Amino acid sequence: MFLPDFQLVITDSDLRVIEVVSTSGRSRDEKQYKHAVSHVTFEHPDIQPGDTLDEDTYGVSAFVLAQAFLTMRLLSGPFHTCPQFQTSWTVAVPFGCHREQRLLGVAGIIFSERRDPYGYSGWLLEVVKRIEQECVNEERPVDTKADHNVLRNAHGESTSSWRIVRPMLAVRLLYGVTEQLTERERDVLALWVAGMNSVEIAEILYVSSSTIRTYFTRISDKLGVEPGVQSMRAFLETELARENQHENENV
């Protein structure tokens, strides 16, 4: 329930796909990864670089609306006309070179309809902000091939730009839990909730694994939870279930 099963898709101004990044919390241990995601029913649409996400090919989606209206758009499953998207949310944001006042492309996320869309939308806005900052720093080319290279460099794994964005916006962490934690402790907890182990978290935050273990100890102490993965997960699941029940009672 915590794994951020979504696709980050970057297109050019014509909605041709430049890059697809699937983030499903994969760890280096393939067996551990398969066990961790065995309960996830959401399947990513089969979108590949070079595909076009226009209305003729994939029907109405947030990508099409964001390109048409030049604003952030969010669309839930039943409103998509393509069967591949009818169990998904799509949220998309156009981005451009403000200096030249022209559209460079659209960044979007495709994720399970069971997820809370607001956290993903906030995370996507930070991704777009990062892309636009990188584009501003580049010498602006005029040919399409060079444009594509700029977009790849702006968000691609080679620079890890999208991984630098504060991760808690992409997963659901309750305010009652996070208000007790420091900013870095929230980052560590969010990355762990996203399915990463201590080694992977350490690499992303540029600290040692022992430092991450120290953070986990502090987090456990502040939440009043026994140290350990199982107790921490049980605590978060209980808190989330309690909040969901409270929301349902108030409907």
pLDDT at 93 over 70: yes
Write the burial class of residue 230 (CB in 10 Å: 0-12 exposed, 13-18 middle, 19+ buried): exposed
- Parent domain of 203: 175-249
Query: ∠ at Cα 185 (172, 24), nearest 5°?
Result: 45
Question: What are the phi and psi torsion angles at 7 (to 5°)?
Answer: -115, 130
| 88-97 β-sheet, strand order | 17-23, 6-12, 102-112, 88-97, 73-75
The structural domain count of the chain equals 2
> pLDDT tens digits, residue range 107-121?
999 988 877 777 777
Pick from 149, 170, 191: which residue ends a domain?
170
Tell me the CA end-to-end span of the chain in Å, nearest whole number: 22
101 and 184 both lie in a single domain = no
126 and 40 both lie in a single domain = yes
The CATH number covering residue 185 comes to 1.10.10.10
Residue 158: helix, strand or coil by DSSP?
A: coil
pLDDT at 24 over 70: no
Token pair for 186? 């929230």
Question: Do the domain assignments include residue 1?
Answer: no
186 and 127 both lie in a single domain = no
Q: What mean pLDDT is reported for the chain?
A: 73
Asked if residues 105 and 151 have their Cβ atoms less than 8 Å apart, the reply is yes
Pick from 148, 170, 192: which residue ends a domain?
170
d(Cα 55, Cα 66) in Å, to the nearest integer?
12
Pick from 117, 144, 170: which residue ends a domain?
170
The packing angle between helices 117-137 and 144-155, to 10°, is 120
Write the burial class of residue 196 (CB in 10 Å: 0-12 exposed, 13-18 middle, 19+ buried): buried
166 and 179 both lie in a single domain = no
| pLDDT range class, residue 250, cuts 50, 70, 90 | low
Supply the pLDDT for residue 122. Answer: 77
132 and 60 both lie in a single domain = yes
> pLDDT tens digits, residue range 149-182?
544 444 443 333 333 334 333 455 666 677 788 8
94 and 199 both lie in a single domain = no
* Tokens 């050019």 sit on residue: 12
Any idea which of 16-25, 46-55, 63-72, 82-91 has the lowest mean pLDDT? 16-25
